[in-house]
Amino acid sequence: MKNLIRISLLIVFIVGSQLNSNAAEKAEYLKTDWSFKGPFGKFDRAALQRGYQVYTEVCSSCHSMKYLSYRNLVQSGGPEFSEAQAKAIAASFEVKDGPNADGEMFMRPGRLSDKFVMPYENEKAAQAANGGAYPPDMTVLVKARGGGVDYIYSLLQGYEDPPAGITLDDGVYYNKYMYGNKIKMSNQLSDGLVEYSDGTNATVEQMAKDVTTFLMWTAEPHLETRHRMGFKAIVYLIILTVLVYFSMKKIWSRIETEV
């Protein structure tokens, strides 16, 4: 029994030490105002369109979005590109299709119904091109990471030179917001890296916020609809409560109080 207690205490001590170590290593996330936060939050359409541009020009060479179709870029509550714009975006990519009448696969311009083009043929090809690391699909990345949008936003801006005493292997970079502070993805953002079509100044902070907003939409494409439904439900419940209150008051007013 004593040995069991000692083992249990040892496990608690080790786990506690590890948690304290992780807490010490991870910096507090950067904060910013997100338009979609709160019960009445909505996506900033311009930010979504800029975020798509950052994803396409910076992220899509490694990270896929296999659950998203080009037609989603038109839908209400999203970036809301015009249909003509979305068709032009889709047609700028080549999609493997087939087989044709000769039994051969062929390449064609993308259509609105097509899923986003994958950067690699398969997972093994992705790992081989990235030193054994698999770039995660970004469609629901915000929901798959603790800290959500604040974590992604901070991570994109968290690259620093490693502190004294910390050595990194080749192909590994220091990021103060990454769990363990080590990440295999190099710093992808720099001021002026993209030229926004709306003229917005493409600072690292702006690009990080825009692409994170876009990733939030890909993970929660019906967020605005849910907010509207929630608001309507609250109004309905308030009205129902008031009606029930006055109905009960009227009913009880007919009953004489016993002395």
- Pick the range with the lowest mean pLDDT from 20-29, 97-106, 217-226, 244-253: 20-29
Ordered alpha helix ranges (H), the chain? 2-25, 45-54, 83-91, 123-129, 141-144, 148-155, 204-219, 223-253
Q: What are phi and psi of 226, to 5 degrees?
A: -65, -40
Section 205-210 average pLDDT: 98
What's residue 26's pLDDT? 60
pLDDT, greater one: 247 or 213: 213
Q: Pull the structure tokens for residue 198.
A: 């709306």
Q: What are phi and psi of 69, to 5 degrees?
A: -110, 160
* 21-32+41-68+115-220 CATH pick, 3.20.20.70, 1.10.10.10, 1.10.760.10, 2.40.70.10: 1.10.760.10
The amino acid occupying position 27 is A
Where are the domains positioned within the chain? 21-32+41-68+115-220, 222-251
Section 143-158 average pLDDT: 94
pLDDT in tens, 59-90: 999 999 999 999 999 998 899 999 999 999 99
> Is-above-0.85 flag for pTM?
no
CB 204 within 8 A of CB 211: no
Whole-number average pLDDT of the chain: 86
pLDDT in tens, 15-29: 444 444 444 456 799
DSSP 120-138: SSSHHHHHHHTTT--PPP-
